[in-house]
Chain A
């Protein structure tokens, strides 16, 4: 099922949570809404679900206006950040809830409801816990119950609000993979909200980056990471070095190398250059287009070695990432003088704040 959000706006008294947002989710797609807290991503998700109502614009399901349709009639599975399980019901009763509240003529026979709920519990590997209460489960198990419960009504759309936000790192990673598999197997159209850029980039087919109630960029994880559309996206996705530069005749100089500014930028002004740590080239000797720097800190945990470098006349230290092999080749020690260069930098004119 496709979802289209057209010019949706949402105002809470005196505060605008969403400004004129438009977005299309293709059938079978796994889409991430990524942004810091207060960016409007959860509000957008709730509007799609029908839990909140937009003050402007419309939501279409398969080209059909869903505005007048009640939450329960939208066929949407919603997974809440804090699970929202029914504490007084067993795990099985939680999962069966959606099947039991159907109008009598659509309702399955009792035994069949139990059977189907049990099958879903097997799917989330919790069939052994059917008779337990949510209070007796761990966070990850509760989240899986919440998922099974949402899937019980056979939704065509699955919406997840920070689904792994409250879980520890290891469980989060497992559940992520598991969700991806489930999404593909059940041929769902899924939208999930997250503030974790790693989660969005790893899991989603496409990522929507949001900030202050607006969409900053929509694209595949690689597009978003490699070609951020704005300084906000650059700073929000991964680590980045932000260097003050001056633009003159559509060019800026970063570490003695010239980089053109984008076509939509003014010809001159104060700007910032963005260089990802992995795009910082470190060499032991002077190369054309490189600048001298001193190594102030080395953190050699895992396969990637992070360096902190002090550049002359620059307040902020520069971060660089090297592979462990390259680090051994260069044989860099703390305090040593090295040479920096880059061939990838993006220039954005500073927005007056």
Chain B
């Protein structure tokens, strides 16, 4: 029996009964669903853009106005994501580690950027930071212009991206054993050393996940940005807006080309972030 079974062992292993059944059905369904919702629209996008031919795509990709808008979109998104990485982690720290009146309210407020229509947020931020707005009137004399500049875009993106880092770091911080910090203290570490050497490395994978989400959200953000950006070509015109302008001019091919370029860059950046994460996760689990 054993001798006969041996040659087919490799094949048999894949047919072994599993503890969790239904792999075939659920995998098939998931693939179908992903194809329907994500892959087919994206493939359509590339197909449409592909009709232009390589030289035409290259011309669009190197067009000064397109390059400026892409640089602005990705630059502000990265800037806002990094800012959210630091501030979101800090916010999560305060929410988890301290007991204070109004903590639950503060915790709920963190989700507001998720719930608020982004156009509302954009209008609110614009009226705040306009040169005659509540905050803008104090910043303007100092020479700091927020509304209708890239800085305004960053502020809008920080606003919409804030919940991502907070919500990914919070549960990890809750699970982080206080004993680990106490162990560091008994070994003679100062509070700063304990934070830098013990706490931060434990939170990093989650914080980076949150940052990646905030970044992804920021790249595609439209509603809140167009109000505060001022949309001056070459200065404060984001790539999604440029796509819209192309669409309004019935230049569908040009619009899809810019979209495809954005998609490729986003994908590359997310891939880098994911690799970074896999690397830091491996260090923690030691797998």
Question: Residues on A close to B: CB < 8 A?
Answer: 49, 51, 70-73, 76-78, 80, 82, 84-88, 97-98, 101-102, 132-136, 149-150, 152-153
Against A, the Cβ 8 Å flags (1 = close, 0 = not) of B198-240 are 1001100000000000000000000000000000000000000
Binds A, one of B39-47, B129-137, B180-188: B180-188
A101 touches which one: B180, B187, B284 (CB < 8 A)? B187
When distances are taken between beta carbons in the complex, the residues of chain A under 8 Å from B193 are 101
Residues of A within 8 A of B202 (CB): 87-88
Indicate whether A80 sits within 8 Å of B183 (C-beta atoms), given known contacts A101-B197, A133-B283, A135-B286: yes
| A134 with B286: CB separation less than 8 A | yes
Flag whether B285 is at the interface (Cβ < 8 A): yes
Determine if B102 is an interface residue (Cβ-Cβ < 8 Å): no
Q: Is B189 among interface residues, defined by CB-CB distance under 8 A?
A: yes
Query: Would you call B190 an interface residue if the criterion is a C-beta within 8 Å of the partner chain's C-beta atoms?
Result: yes
User: Given the complex, which residues of B lie within 8 Å of A82, measured CB to CB?
Assistant: 177, 179
- Mostly, the B contact residues are helix
CB distance from B1 to the nearest CB of A (A): 36
B287 contacts A78, C-beta separation under 8 Å: no
B285 touches A133 (CB 8 A): yes
**Across the interface, do A71 and B186 meet the contact criterion of CB distance under 8 Å?**
yes
Using a Cβ–Cβ cut-off of 8 Å, how many residues does chain B contribute to the interface with A? 22
Shortest C-beta distance, A283 to chain B (Å), equals 55
Contact residues of B between 246 and 287, Cβ < 8 Å to A: 283-287
Specify the chain A residue showing the minimal Cβ separation from B198: A86
| Contact for A98 among B179, B187, B283, B284, CB less than 8 A | B187
- Please judge, given known A-B contacts A80-B179, A84-B183, whether A98 and B287 are in contact too, CB under 8 Å: no
Across the interface, name the chain A residue whose C-beta is closest to B192.
A101
Mark B residues whose CB is within 8 Å of A.
177, 179-180, 182-190, 193, 197-198, 201-202, 283-287
- In contact, A72 and B286 (Cβ under 8 angstroms): no
A87, closest chain B residue (CB): B284
A153 contacts B187, C-beta separation under 8 Å: yes
Is A97 a contact partner of B285 (Cβ separation < 8 A)? Answer: no
Taking CB atoms, residues of chain B closer than 8 Å to A51 are 182, 185-186
A77 CA to B286 CA, complexed, in Å: 26
Question: In this complex, which of B187, B198, B285 has the most chain A Cβ atoms within 10 angstroms of its Cβ?
Answer: B187
How far in angstroms is the closest Cβ of chain A from B74? 30
Q: Cα distance A85–B182 when bound, in Å?
A: 11
A98 to B198, Cβ gap below 8 A?
no
Query: By the criterion CB–CB under 8 Å, are A86 and B180 in contact?
Result: yes
The reply to whether B182 and A135 contact each other, CB–CB distance below 8 Å, is no
Name the B residues within 8 Å of A88 (CB-CB). 201-202, 283-284
Number of A-B pairs, beta carbon distance below 8 Å = 78
For the complex formed, measure the closest distance between the CB of B182 and the CB atoms of chain A, giving whole angstroms. Answer: 5
Set of chain A residues within 8 Å of B197, measured between Cβ atoms: 86, 97, 101
| Least distance between B184 CB and chain A CB atoms (Å) | 7
Chain A residues with Cβ below 8 Å from B183 are 78, 80, 84-86, 149
Q: With the chains together, A53 CA to B182 CA distance in Å? A: 14
Q: How far is the CA of A353 from the CA of B155 in the complex (A)?
A: 65
Q: Could you pull out 23 A-B pairs where Cβ atoms are within 8 angstroms?
A: A49-B186, A71-B182, A71-B186, A72-B186, A78-B182, A78-B183, A82-B177, A84-B179, A86-B180, A86-B184, A86-B197, A86-B198, A87-B286, A88-B202, A97-B184, A97-B189, A101-B184, A132-B286, A133-B283, A133-B285, A150-B186, A152-B187, A153-B188
Closest to B185 in A: A71
Complex alpha-carbon distance, A88 and B198, angstroms: 8
Task: Given the known inter-chain contacts A86-B198, A101-B193, please indicate yes or no for A72 contacting B187, CB distance below 8 A.
Answer: yes
Give the chain B neighbours of A152 by CB distance below 8 A.
187
Whether the pair B185, A72 counts as a contact (CB closer than 8 A) is: yes
Minimum Cβ distance to chain B for residue A129 (Å): 11
Given A82-B179, A84-B177, decide whether A97 and B284 contact each other with a Cβ distance below 8 A.
no
Contact B180 A72 (CB under 8 A): no
Taking the closest CB of chain B, its distance from the CB of A192, in whole angstroms, is 15
Give CA–CA (A88, B286) in the complex, Å.
Answer: 8
CA distance A344 to B149 in the complex (A): 92
Q: Contact between A133 and B182 (Cβ–Cβ < 8 Å)?
A: no
User: Could you tell me the distance between the alpha carbons of A133 and B286 in the complex, rounded to whole angstroms?
Assistant: 5
Whole-angstrom distance between the alpha carbons of A84 and B202 in the complex? 13
Chain A: CB-nearest residue to B180: A84
B146 smallest CB distance to A (angstroms): 39
Minimum CB distance partner of B176 in chain A: A87
Q: Are B285 and A135 in contact (CB under 8 A)?
A: yes
A84-B184 Cα distance, complex, nearest whole Å: 9
Residue of B nearest to A101 (CB): B189
Question: Which of A78, A85, A133 has a CB less than 8 Å from the CB of B186?
Answer: A78
- Min CB gap A74→B, angstroms: 8
Given the complex of chains A and B, what is the CA–CA distance between A153 and B189 in angstroms?
11
Q: What separation, in Å, do the CA atoms of A247 and B105 have in the docked complex?
A: 63
| Minimum distance in angstroms from A29 CB to a CB of chain B | 20
Contacts A86-B198, A136-B286 known; A76 to B186 CB distance under 8 Å? yes
A80 to B183, CA, bound (A): 8
A76–B188 Cα distance when bound, in Å, is 9
Chain A neighbourhood of B189, CB < 8 A = 72, 97-98, 101
Residues of B within 8 A of A134 (CB): 286
Q: Is the CB of B190 within 8 A of A101?
A: yes
Q: Which 7 A-B pairs have the closest CB atoms?
A: A133-B286, A98-B187, A84-B179, A72-B188, A84-B183, A78-B186, A101-B189
Best-surrounded residue of A72, A77, A149 (most CB of chain B within 10 A): A72
A71 to B193, CA, bound (A): 14
Name the residue among B183, B193, B198 with the largest chain A CB count within 10 angstroms: B183
Chain B residue nearest in CB terms to A98? B187
Min distance, Cβ A328 to any Cβ of chain B, angstroms = 49
- Chain A residues positioned under 8 Å from B187 (CB to CB): 72, 97-98, 101, 149-150, 152-153
